[in-house]
């Protein structure tokens, strides 16, 4: 199972020394163009898909109900379809997350971003975290898709972040991801660097939440991120300032 290891993965550098592939002309290939608002309409979803195809973003990330729509809209574009699972709280039984993930993959999702049981992370229950992630990983990998694990960094201490990342590695995930964008703070350079040090070069690291500009994205990539989750993708590639919190 590919984890899409990135240029410069596992090496934290300063934002002034951007790893190969993180220049403005290539930044779109890091971006999961995201629309997760519960009130999003079909017209808005299709607009995001058209933008992703035009700018050559890595994927479009949506709620599970829109996976079929996105997969069809992105046909022959080269842009992946990504769905969230157990989103945004993670407070769903593991077998239900696995069922949701399996359904999203059958609908056409190439990638799944799941939210862990945050209470287990705060209780430092690594075994429970591994079981939670592994259940979803088996469902996702059975459909030859990629699993990203959202640890919700804003709600965890550094020790708990490390524990959650270690659990993701042990459970066979392909990526760890900072945030949902719905529960307090989003990605920080410090958290991305910590996550990269913890998972090493083999797993991807996705920075999401509050990445609104090219400088923000470059800083995250320099710290070790291999993917950026943002609804401000167009502003990022244009070198402008986005307004969305996610």
Catalytic, 71? Answer no
Please state the domain extents for the chain.
25-238
- Among 124, 182, 127, CA closest to 150: 182
pTM (2 decimals)? 0.89
**Residues 64-70, mean pLDDT to the nearest whole number:** 98
**Residues 81-93, mean pLDDT to the nearest whole number:** 98
Q: Provide the CB-side half-sphere exposure for 88 (13 A, CA).
A: 18
Mean pLDDT of the chain: 90
Catalytic, 47? Answer no
Return the CA Rg of the chain: 16
**CATH number corresponding to 25-238:** 3.20.20.70
Which position among 113, 174, 191, 216 bears the catalytic label? 113
Catalytic, 206? Answer yes
Q: What is the pLDDT of residue 243?
A: 60
């Amino acid at each position: 199972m590919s984890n899409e290891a990135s240029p410069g993965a596992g090496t934290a550098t300063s934002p002034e020394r951007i790893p190969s592939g993180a220049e403005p002309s290539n930044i779109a290939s890091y971006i999961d163009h995201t629309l997760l608002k519960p009130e999003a309409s079909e017209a808005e979803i299709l607009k995001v898909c058209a933008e992703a195809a035009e700018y050559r973003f890595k994927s479009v990330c949506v709620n599970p109900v829109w996976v079929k729509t996105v997969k069809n809209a992105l046909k022959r574009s080269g842009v992946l379809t990504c769905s969230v699972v157990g989103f945004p709280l993670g407070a769903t039984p593991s077998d239900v997350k696995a069922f949701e993930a399996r359904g999203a993959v059958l609908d056409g999702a190439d990638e799944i971003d799941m939210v862990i049981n945050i209470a287990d992370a705060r209780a430092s229950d690594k075994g429970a975290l591994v079981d939670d992630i592994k259940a979803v990983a088996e469902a996702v990998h059975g459909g030859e898709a990629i699993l990203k694990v959202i640890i919700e960094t804003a709600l965890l201490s550094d020790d708990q972040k490390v524990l959650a990342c270690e659990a993701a590695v042990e459970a066979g995930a392909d990526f760890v991801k900072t945030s949902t964008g719905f529960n307090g703070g989003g990605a920080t350079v410090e958290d991305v660097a910590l996550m990269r040090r913890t998972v090493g070069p083999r797993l991807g690291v996705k920075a999401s939440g509050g990445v609104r500009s090219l400088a923000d994205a470059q800083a995250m990539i320099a710290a070790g991120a291999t993917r950026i989750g943002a609804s401000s993708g167009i502003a990022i590639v244009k070198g402008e300032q986005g307004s969305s919190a996610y």
